[in-house]
């Protein structure tokens, strides 16, 4: 995970979707709507480049991405938890 962490500390490249989601979260947290002019002003003041593919991704980190396999793992874990709760009461 240290590679992931070191890359995240120097982020300057973001997809349009990432930037839009960041603005949405900021507006939700602050309750303040930001118009296009304000967004453009802030984005131009920050040394940011808009890119097509995100810099940070899960590739090469050994994290399971199969939803089917992950659901099987969750089901198996929950079955063990239910058994323990029943047995230990």
Distance CA 22, CA 43 (A): 12
* Dihedral pair phi/psi, residue 17, rounded to 5°: -60, -40
CB 50 within 8 A of CB 14: yes
Tokens of 10: 């120097």
Distance CA 65, CA 3 (A): 19
Whether the model pTM is above 0.75: no
The low-confidence residues of the chain, meaning pLDDT below 70, are 1-5, 7-10, 58-60, 83-89
The full set of domain ranges for the chain reads: 2-55+63-88
> How confident is the model at residue 65, as a pLDDT?
76
> How confident is the model at residue 63, as a pLDDT?
76
Each residue of 36-47: pLDDT tens digit? Answer: 999 999 888 887
């Amino acid at each position: 995970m240290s590679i992931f962490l070191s890359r995240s500390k120097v982020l300057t490249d973001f997809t349009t979707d990432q930037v839009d989601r960041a603005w949405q979260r900021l507006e939700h947290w602050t309750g303040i709507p930001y118009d296009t002019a304000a967004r453009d002003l802030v984005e131009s003041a920050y040394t940011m480049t808009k890119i097509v593919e995100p810099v940070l991704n899960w590739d090469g980190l050994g994290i399971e991405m199969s939803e089917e396999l992950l659901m099987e793992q969750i089901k198996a874990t929950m079955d063990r938890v239910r058994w323990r709760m029943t047995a230990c009461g």
